[in-house]
Amino acid sequence: MAKPILLSVDDDPDVLRAIERDLRSQYGADYRVMSSDAPEAALDILKELKVRNDSVALLLADQRMPRMDGVGFLQHAKQIFPDAKRALLTAYADTNAAISAINQAGLDYFFMKPWDPPTEHLYPQLNDLLDDWRASYRPAYDGIRVLGTRWSPRCYELRDFLARNRVPYQWVDVEYSANDPETKLILETLGSEAANLPVVLFPDGTKLFEGVPADVAQKVGLRTRAQTTFYDLAIVGGGPAGLAAAVYGASEGLHTVMVEREAPGGQAGMSSRIENYLGFPSGLSGGDLARRGVTQALRFGVEILSPQEAVGVRTEGSYRIIKMVDGHEISCHALMIATGVQWRRLEAPGIDRLQGAGVYYGGGASEALSCKGEIVYVVGGANSAGQAAMNFSRYAERVVILVRGTSLDATMSKYLIDQIKETSNIQLWSHASVTEVHGETHLEEISVLCSDTSKLERVPASAMFIFIGALPRTDWLAGMVERDERGFLLTGPDVMQGGERPRGWALDRDPFLLETNVPGIFAVGDVRHGSVKRVASGVGEGSVAVQFIHQYLSKV
């Protein structure tokens, strides 16, 4: 945490050096001492410190300065750091001005020049001031701050990225807190660039305008480039299946890299609560599960590239070479595809226009608090929708689950159905489908068609979260790895054509259970044809596949 600041201002260089020397000598261990030879420059420094969210404990200014005297400076400075202690350096002739400033500028003390010896005429009085300041001091947040608006898709994308990658940040909604003095001051200091939202403010004073996840990732130290060019095992996808494979592979001696497009944890990492995962009788959040998995993988030496996206793969002899979206490549002997699935898009007028501005796909971990007191709609009837509804019910006035069927019984686990029934502010709307969404800058209403009555209703809505099935993102493997009609990867017996080995298969054995039609390329988790869409099964497949990989590598 940054030290609080003591700022002295004096246009006389000899006096400025003397006060700076004495402040550093006595308080340098606990405070950061800064100085300025002009009050106008000192005000600019204070504004910059405010943008950086630093704390100022003391302002010490000389009374006689050109263009702006010490009292005038302290009055202006009070608007920037109202809680800082304010003291004046005066000559004997300025005593009356100093006394009147106690009322005018809220002056806390004035010192006569010279103050020698400081042990008698400076430190005792400053000790009292600083002790008083510390008694009410609450350290300012010293992490990343993001300035933006709730209904901006770009701001939502960045907040969601930070939340899913477990990067702490403070959100400042510049519209909601427009009348807050500190927010106004920050925006004034940023000037015209404040319009380039989202603005990301880093603790070191760096400012990023129109911030995007890739730039923020680089700044906070997330790794997107591989340390070497070759690995025993490369895993594309960082959900439960990919994390399990990374942990088991690395723990058994394989030089392992994992490539994740968004954030480790995948869709499971966005779940607000998973209550049927073995070993956690009280349940745990998807974020906690992802965090534990990442920590375990890193402990065994797994290299994690995130955010990073694989866009192509080719083979050269025993090498499988992966091309990344930024153009660089890594090679491996064994490649595991664990990319999971993405939410299927809802086809309705207005959906694309309002995505990120009230319309969201997935759990919306960063949006739950923003829904306090509002009406939220959840579209879908599987476990992920139920978990999201339970999470939003803690904040929203009402949560409405929209399903096409008659009930949740066929698609959702019983424990979730029971919880939903017992939650008074969750309502189930069956036989319902969204036909259109409405709003200029953000979602305001949705049109819902009731199939059992053919009635079309238009209802108010501030947020809608969509969980309507999932499709794999496997186009980058087309022409290389065989897929079914929906894009899921075929493995093991499914790639055997009429009992025959895949075309081009040169090995004297059948494909392993989780191996694709390309030797050494495996598929696990939700991306695999015929997989069970559960976290535990993904973890199981990821760990089992490592045993097949060992067998494959023994023959390479």
- Indicate which CATH number applies to the domain containing 360: 3.50.50.60
Phi–psi pair at 36, nearest 5 degrees: -150, 145
Cβ distance 399 to 372 under 8 Å?
Answer: no
* Residue 393, CB-side half-sphere exposure with 13 Å CA sphere: 20
Tokens of residue 201, six digits? 């403010």
Taking phi over 0 as left and psi of -120 to 50 as alpha, with beta for the rest, 110 belongs to beta
Do residue 299 and residue 415 come from a single domain?
no
pLDDT score recorded for residue 277: 85
Do residue 332 and residue 251 come from a single domain?
yes
Instruction: For tokens 């030290």, name the residue.
Output: 3
Beta strands across the sheet bearing 207-209: 169-173, 144-148, 199-201, 207-209
Helix intervals (H) in 320-367? 351-354
Cβ distance 237 to 214 under 8 Å?
Answer: no
Q: Is 508 domain-assigned?
A: yes
Instruction: For tokens 């340390």, name the residue.
Output: 227
Residue 313 is part of which domain span? 230-342+474-483+501-553
Tell me how far apart the alpha carbons of residues 240 and 231 are, in angstroms, rounded to a whole number.
Answer: 21
Give the global pTM: 0.82
pLDDT score recorded for residue 465: 95
Cβ distance 245 to 524 under 8 Å?
Answer: yes
Cβ distance 556 to 318 under 8 Å?
Answer: yes
Strands of 149-189, DSSP E: 169-173
Q: Pairing mode, if any, of strands 56-62 and 85-90?
A: parallel
Do residue 10 and residue 129 come from a single domain?
yes
Tell me how far apart the alpha carbons of residues 396 and 163 are, in angstroms, rounded to a whole number.
Answer: 20
Tell me how far apart the alpha carbons of residues 442 and 445 are, in angstroms, rounded to a whole number.
Answer: 9
Q: What is the end-to-end Cα distance of the chain in Å, rounded?
A: 52
Picking from 168, 199, 220, the residue at the C-terminal end of a domain is: 220
Tokens of residue 84, six digits? 């800082």
Do residue 385 and residue 304 come from a single domain?
no
pLDDT < 70 regions, the chain: 1, 93, 105, 364-365
Residue 64 contacts by C-beta under 8 Å, 6 or more apart in sequence?
Answer: 70, 91, 94
Do residue 103 and residue 25 come from a single domain?
yes
| Distance of alpha carbon 128 from the chain centroid | 42
Do residue 330 and residue 478 come from a single domain?
yes
Q: How many domains does the chain have?
A: 4
Q: Is 99 domain-assigned?
A: yes
Q: State whether residue 73 is helix, strand or coil.
A: helix
Tell me how far apart the alpha carbons of residues 371 and 374 are, in angstroms, rounded to a whole number.
Answer: 5
* Residue 159, CB-side half-sphere exposure with 13 Å CA sphere: 29
pLDDT score recorded for residue 204: 87
Q: Is 490 domain-assigned?
A: no
Give residue 79's identity as a one-letter amino acid code. Answer: Q
pLDDT score recorded for residue 139: 83
Per residue in 334-379, pLDDT (tens digit) is: 999 999 998 899 999 999 999 999 999 987 667 888 889 999 999 9
Instruction: For tokens 């959702």, name the residue.
Output: 412
Picking from 99, 114, 135, the residue at the C-terminal end of a domain is: 135
pLDDT score recorded for residue 14: 94
Cβ distance 461 to 446 under 8 Å?
Answer: yes
Do residue 191 and residue 237 come from a single domain?
no
pLDDT score recorded for residue 365: 65
Do residue 320 and residue 427 come from a single domain?
no
Q: Degrees (nearest 5) of the Cα angle 152, 156, 161?
A: 155
Per residue in 292-331, pLDDT (tens digit) is: 999 999 999 999 999 999 999 999 999 999 999 999 999 9
pLDDT score recorded for residue 164: 87
Do residue 128 and residue 9 come from a single domain?
yes
Q: Is 492 domain-assigned?
A: no
